[in-house]
Structure 1
Amino acid sequence: MKNVLLINSGRKAVGCALQERDDIRLSVISMPGYLDWYDAGTDLEVVDTIENLDLVRAAALRIRERNPFDYVVAPSEWSVPAGGFIRSYFGIPGPSFDVANAFSNKFVMKQKVAAAGLPVARFRRVNTLGQLVAVGDELGWPYVLKSAFGGGSENVFVVRDAEHAKSIMVGETLARLGDLDSPMLAEEFVDIDTEFHCDGVVVDGKAVFAAASRYLAPVLDSLGGVIGSYTLPDDHTDAHLICDLHDRVVTALGLPDGVTHLEVLKSSRGYLVGEIACRTAGGGIPLQLEHQYGVDTTDALIATSIGDPVELNVPSRSDYMIQYMLPRPVGTVTAISAAADLRAAPGVEYVEITTKVGDHLAGPVDSSVYAGIVLIRAATEAQVAERCAEIARRYRIDVAAEPVGDPATAVLAETRG
């Protein structure tokens, strides 16, 4: 019997998988909004937020008194630092706090990646909002302002010019930034030609699986529209380059075991390391990997966290698997396509629509917002474009739109690139 502590927020699949195992005695630290994911009788501690490491430590100490744990599973963006902290605090194997912080604190991440000689966009820490004009003078205009913590495109802004920087000091954007309770960093604005992701499984510091994929368009250009990607064949030139960068970043940050999700940008300056996380990817990517390679990244995350053997039999692939995230505009849904209409399109292997008529979204929209997922197989890269166009033709979503946001404040970074 393995005694496991799960520190979780938004990753339901991991909680369900752990509860289904008879060889695990599970304890959980959760936030209030996720309690119905866990069976009655689960050894459960509730904290207001897992971002507060003191609250997590106190909860872990209470659990430790009644159910000592030997492993920590931390599957969400916000639980990664907490998981590393608890491992270091109790001397438990797995990614330490230093490693977990390097995979979740974007400023520390970029420091370590740059120190290893890997290519990154120029960046700097932002200590106060009063520095925003000086930052633009240093990095150039426009530049990207973001929270050091958080996943996807959440709390990412493009600061256009000095007047725009000054306008951030009032209104909606200031309130959002002030509520973050997080360090900020700025990066030079990069004109992105192509964006890639690489998803891996790491055992004993080495990638036993790494798959490179190309986004249909740069993610921050796609907010509010279609976000998706397609896997690259094993012999694709970009695949070799991206997977090599992945392995070098993993080494630079010191991950012993776990799963990874890396973003790589291609620009006029070549390939730049974006960000990497030691958790499963979001959106349709886990399903994409499972359909294309037979790799369940949720299972791999659990296995690498609790010392289970990782046994992968990955086939060689020469075709393309597309994950197409259906757009979800702001407003109240008045009509949406049926799954059957999309399932009838050529190459479609899977359709899941998670939005229904009457659902309301107030915004703002980031990369975690979508109406459903479609998986499509294509034989060639040209066919990727054709099959995506067919889904776009068939998909319909109507909303009763409402005005959102303050146009005088910083815009989300959908204009980047």
Structure 2
Amino acid sequence: MKKVLLINTSSEPAARLLQERAGIQLSVITTPSYRRFYAEDTDVVVVDSVEDLTKVCLAALEIRKRNPFDYVVSPSELSLQAGGYIRSYFGLPGTGYEIANAFSNKHVMKQRLAAAGLPVARFQPLSQFTDASEAARTLGWPVVVKPAIGGGAEDVFVLRDAEQVQELATAEVTAQLRESPYPMLGEEFIDIEAEFHCDAVIVGGEVHFVAVSRYFSPVLKSVGALVGSYTLPDGHPDATAVAELHAAAVKALGLTDGVTHLEVLKCSQGNLIGEVACRPGGGGIAEQLLHQYGVDIWMEFLATSLDDPVTSVQLEPRDHLIQYMLPRPPGTITHISTAEELLAVPGVVHADVRAATGDTATGVVHSATFAGLVLAKAATEEQVHERIAELGAHYKIDVRTEEG
């Protein structure tokens, strides 16, 4: 029997897999929005925020009195720090706070990567939003402002000049960033030619499995529109370069066992490391890896978290697998394509439409906002773009907004 504490917010796969697995005594720390992931008889403590390490520690102490735990699993971006903190606090195996912080705090991450001689965009910590104007004296305009902790391209702003900084300094659109409990980071704006993601399994400090994919277009430019990627075969020049950067980044940040998701920006300066996390990638990346390589990245994440053997094998398929995240504009859906209709598109091997007519979405759209997932095969990169165009022509979604 493995006694496990799961600290989680939005990661449904980890919640489901741990509850389904035999031989697990599970306790959970989560937030009110995600209590629904767990059965009524699961040992769950709800906290206002898993980012509040003191509250998480008090919850862990409460749980430990009735259900002692030997392992901590922290699968969501916002729970990475809490997981590292609790492991360090209780002297448990796995990734401790220092390394978890380096993989989730972009300021610390970039400091360590730069110190190791790895290429990153120039950056500067900000004490407040209006410090962006001062940072621009060093970094130049435009300047990118983002929270040091977070994902999904949420609360990321490209500011063109000091006048725009002042305009947004009191605007509602920046309120969440300005009121965030995290420090802010300013970065030089990079004119990105291409963006890649690299997903890997690390065992004993070495890369056990690695896969490199190219986004259709840079993620920051795609928010609210089409987001997706396609795998690159082993030996592809971009795949080789990105995989080498990934191995160096893992070594620089000190991870010994776990799963990683790295993003690399290709620009006139060469390849720059955008960021790297010690968790599975979001969107359709897990399904993409499973269909193309036979690697269940969530199972490997749990294996490395619970000191179980990993099972992934490095395969070298020569074709491409596309993960096409179906765009989901805000509003109430009045019509959406069915999975059956999308499966009829040439090359499609998997279609999962998760939104339905009548569903309503409000609030900010970010890179993790999508209506479903389609996977498609392509023999060449030229055919990749043909498949993307075909899917774009066949996928239909109509929404009704308050204005319309």
| Superposed pair shares fold, TM > 0.5 | yes
Q: CA RMSD in A?
A: 1.2
User: For residue 151 of structure 1, what is the aligned residue in structure 2?
Assistant: 151
User: For residue 192 of structure 2, what is the aligned residue in structure 1?
Assistant: 192
User: For residue 312 of structure 1, what is the aligned residue in structure 2?
Assistant: 312
**Match for 2:386: what amino acid?**
E
Contact 2:129 2:178 in 1 (8 A): no
SS in 2 for 1:167: helix
Q: How does 1:304-383 map to 2 (within 5 A)?
A: 304-383=304-383
Gaps of 5+ in 2: none
Contact 2:300 2:312 in 1 (8 A): no
Deviations along 1:331-383, one digit per CA (max 9) or x if unpaired, are 22111111111100111011011111122222321101111100001111111
User: For residue 5 of structure 1, what is the aligned residue in structure 2?
Assistant: 5
Deviations along 1:213-254, one digit per CA (max 9) or x if unpaired, are 000111111111110000000121111111111110000100
User: For residue 411 of structure 1, what is the aligned residue in structure 2?
Assistant: none
SS in 1 for 2:202: strand
User: 1:26 Cα deviation (Å)?
Assistant: 1.0
User: 1:174 Cα deviation (Å)?
Assistant: 4.2
Contact 2:130 2:165 in 1 (8 A): no
TM-score for both structures, normalised by structure 2: 0.98
SS in 1 for 2:264: strand
Q: Answer yes or no: is 1:296 the counterpart of 2:313.
A: no
**Match for 1:129: what amino acid?**
F
Deviations along 1:374-394, one digit per CA (max 9) or x if unpaired, are 000111111100111100010
Contact 1:330 1:402 in 2 (8 A): no
Q: How does 1:37-116 map to 2 (within 5 A)?
A: 37-116=37-116
User: For residue 243 of structure 1, what is the aligned residue in structure 2?
Assistant: 243
User: 1:403 Cα deviation (Å)?
Assistant: 6.2
Q: How high is the sequence identity, in percent, across the aligned residues?
A: 54
- Alpha-carbon distance between aligned partners in 2 of 1:372 and 1:295, rounded to the nearest angstrom: 21
User: 1:179 Cα deviation (Å)?
Assistant: 2.3
- Alpha-carbon distance between aligned partners in 1 of 2:283 and 2:169, rounded to the nearest angstrom: 33
Contact 1:9 1:79 in 2 (8 A): yes
User: For residue 178 of structure 1, what is the aligned residue in structure 2?
Assistant: 178
SS in 2 for 1:114: helix
SS in 1 for 2:33: helix
User: 1:291 Cα deviation (Å)?
Assistant: 0.2
- Alpha-carbon distance between aligned partners in 1 of 2:333 and 2:43, rounded to the nearest angstrom: 39
Q: Which moved more, 1:286-295 or 1:359-368?
A: 359-368
Change (3 A) 1:195 1:174: closer
- Alpha-carbon distance between aligned partners in 2 of 1:272 and 1:132, rounded to the nearest angstrom: 22
SS in 2 for 1:5: strand
SS in 1 for 2:287: helix
**Match for 1:44: what amino acid?**
V
User: For residue 120 of structure 2, what is the aligned residue in structure 1?
Assistant: 120
**Match for 2:337: what amino acid?**
S
Contact 2:27 2:67 in 1 (8 A): yes
User: For residue 23 of structure 2, what is the aligned residue in structure 1?
Assistant: 23
Q: Which moved more, 1:161-170 or 1:262-271?
A: 161-170
Q: How does 1:232-271 map to 2 (within 5 A)?
A: 232-271=232-271
Contact 1:4 1:70 in 2 (8 A): yes
Aligned residues: 404
Deviations along 1:237-278, one digit per CA (max 9) or x if unpaired, are 111111111110000100111101000000000000000011
Contact 1:205 1:257 in 2 (8 A): yes
Q: Answer yes or no: is 1:275 the counterpart of 2:304.
A: no
**Match for 1:55: what amino acid?**
K
- Alpha-carbon distance between aligned partners in 2 of 1:18 and 1:260, rounded to the nearest angstrom: 20
**Match for 1:35: what amino acid?**
R
Change (3 A) 1:384 1:81: same
- Alpha-carbon distance between aligned partners in 2 of 1:67 and 1:223, rounded to the nearest angstrom: 42
Q: Answer yes or no: is 1:164 the counterpart of 2:164.
A: yes
- Alpha-carbon distance between aligned partners in 2 of 1:109 and 1:403, rounded to the nearest angstrom: 42
**Match for 1:119: what amino acid?**
P
TM-score for both structures, normalised by structure 1: 0.95
**Match for 1:5: what amino acid?**
L
**Match for 1:152: what amino acid?**
G
Deviations along 1:174-215, one digit per CA (max 9) or x if unpaired, are 422232111000100000000000000011111101100000
SS in 2 for 1:117: coil
SS in 2 for 1:131: helix
Deviations along 1:52-105, one digit per CA (max 9) or x if unpaired, are 001100011111111111111000001110000000000011111000001110
User: For residue 218 of structure 2, what is the aligned residue in structure 1?
Assistant: 218
Contact 1:294 1:314 in 2 (8 A): no
- Alpha-carbon distance between aligned partners in 2 of 1:159 and 1:57, rounded to the nearest angstrom: 38
SS in 1 for 2:26: strand
Gaps of 5+ in 1: 405-417
Q: Answer yes or no: is 1:229 the counterpart of 2:229.
A: yes
User: 1:125 Cα deviation (Å)?
Assistant: 0.1
